[in-house]
Amino acid sequence: MTAATARGSRLAAGGRGRSALLTSLLVFPATLWYVALLVAPLAIVVIFSFGTRAKNGGYAPALTLDNYADLLNRPEPFVNSLVMATAGTVGCLLVGLPLAYYLATRAGSRKNVLLLLLVIPFWTSFLIRTYAWLLIFNPDTGIPGIVKLLTGAEFRVRGTPIAVLVGLVYGYLPLMVFPLYVTLERLDRTLLEASKDLGAGRWATFRQITLPIALPGLVTGSILVFIPMMGEYVIPAILGYGQFYMMGNALVSSFLEARNWPAGSARAVGLIAVMLVTVTFYLWFVNRGRRTRETSVL
């Protein structure tokens, strides 16, 4: 190697060293944040889940699987969460897909106003918006009351799974609409013309072209709504009216009411495990056989 090229490669190596240092510096705050506020608490939760309840509540060190065994004996909140999050995701899709499609393709000049309307509720406290639904579901002054006044028919919404479902779909809809909107907006309209030109009708075109191309947005939206719905606490607490429990509520009662931290920790670990399994399975399911440029949907 000549002196010149040796010097050149040394310079290049020096440059690489500096850029590696820069990278570490840039990544350091995020890493610190991540470790201190996510990994460490998670580790504590896992450790607690193998312990026992101290006499006056809290955590006493032990190594037992009792808490996990107990989980299987009371699976109801798990099942409720899984069912409601799934139903809520499907509900968001059913409402969000036509809405996003309309916004992306048909809304024209009204598009920006409509998108703004979709965002505005976010400026109000989630708690207040959920309480608003409680008023709507009020048996005397809400919709059931009006229906009763007009037809005499009596029915109950407050405290039922339906009320919780409506609250979930309402609360998380924008998280579904935005990713869907973005992928549909980017969809090249001449692809739809090409499809029709080749003999596919409206529905066939939607099924074979629009939907597959919008799939990454659909998957992103589904995961964005599914995960927080699984751990949802406020909506079932308010609209469930103390009669419908999901995992979030069960966690609160374990930690704050029963003060059984190990039992609560086991529930939390269980919730994380269920979510990981569900989301992994879902991603595998939608991506099977797909070979696209977008390697990741998130």
Partner 1 sequence: MAAAVVDESRHVSGRARGGGQIADVRIEGVTKEFGPVTAVDQMTLEIASGEFYSLLGPSGCGKTTTLRMIAGFEQPTAGEIFLAGSPVAGVPPYKRNVNTVFQHYALFPHMDVAQNVGYGLRQRGSPKAEEARRVGEALDLVRLSGYGTRRTWELSGGQQQRVALARALVNHPTVLLLDEPLGALDLKLRKEMQLELKALQREVGITFVYVTHDQEEALTMSDVIVVMNHGRIQQLGGPTELYERPVNLFVSNFIGVSNPMPGRVMEIGPDHSAVVETDRGLRLRGTITDPAVRPGIGTSVTVATRPERLTVLPGEAREPAAPGEVDVPGRIHQGTYLGDQTEYRVTTDLAGELIVRRQNAAGVGTGEGVGPGDPVVVRWHEEANLILVG
Q: Which residues bind partner 1 (CB under 8 A)?
A: 188, 190-191, 193-201, 204, 208-209, 212-213, 290-293
Looking at the Cβ atoms of 15 and 201, the one nearer to partner 1 is: 201
Phi-psi region of 94 (alpha: psi -120 to 50; beta: other; left: phi over 0): alpha
Quote the least distance from Cβ 189 to partner 1, whole Å.
9
Quote the least distance from Cβ 291 to partner 1, whole Å.
7
Rounded Cα–Cα distance for residues 7 and 47 (Å) = 53
Quote the least distance from Cβ 200 to partner 1, whole Å.
5
Rounded Cα–Cα distance for residues 28 and 26 (Å) = 6
Query: Which tokens sit at 267?
Result: 């529930």
Residue indicated by tokens 């059931």: 144
Quote the least distance from Cβ 295 to partner 1, whole Å.
13
* Contacts of 202 by beta carbon, 8 Å cutoff, 6+ apart: 196
Rounded Cα–Cα distance for residues 167 and 256 (Å) = 24
Quote the least distance from Cβ 192 to partner 1, whole Å.
9
Q: Which of 50, 46, 86 is nearest to 273 (CA)?
A: 46
3-class SS of residue 58: strand
What does DSSP assign to residue 174? Answer: H
Looking at the Cβ atoms of 213 and 252, the one nearer to partner 1 is: 213
Looking at the Cβ atoms of 29 and 289, the one nearer to partner 1 is: 289
What does DSSP assign to residue 177? Answer: H
Looking at the Cβ atoms of 71 and 184, the one nearer to partner 1 is: 184
Residue indicated by tokens 């992994």: 280
Query: Which tokens sit at 130?
Result: 């959920």
Residue indicated by tokens 């609209």: 239
Quote the least distance from Cβ 171 to partner 1, whole Å.
32
Looking at the Cβ atoms of 129 and 196, the one nearer to partner 1 is: 196
Looking at the Cβ atoms of 76 and 193, the one nearer to partner 1 is: 193
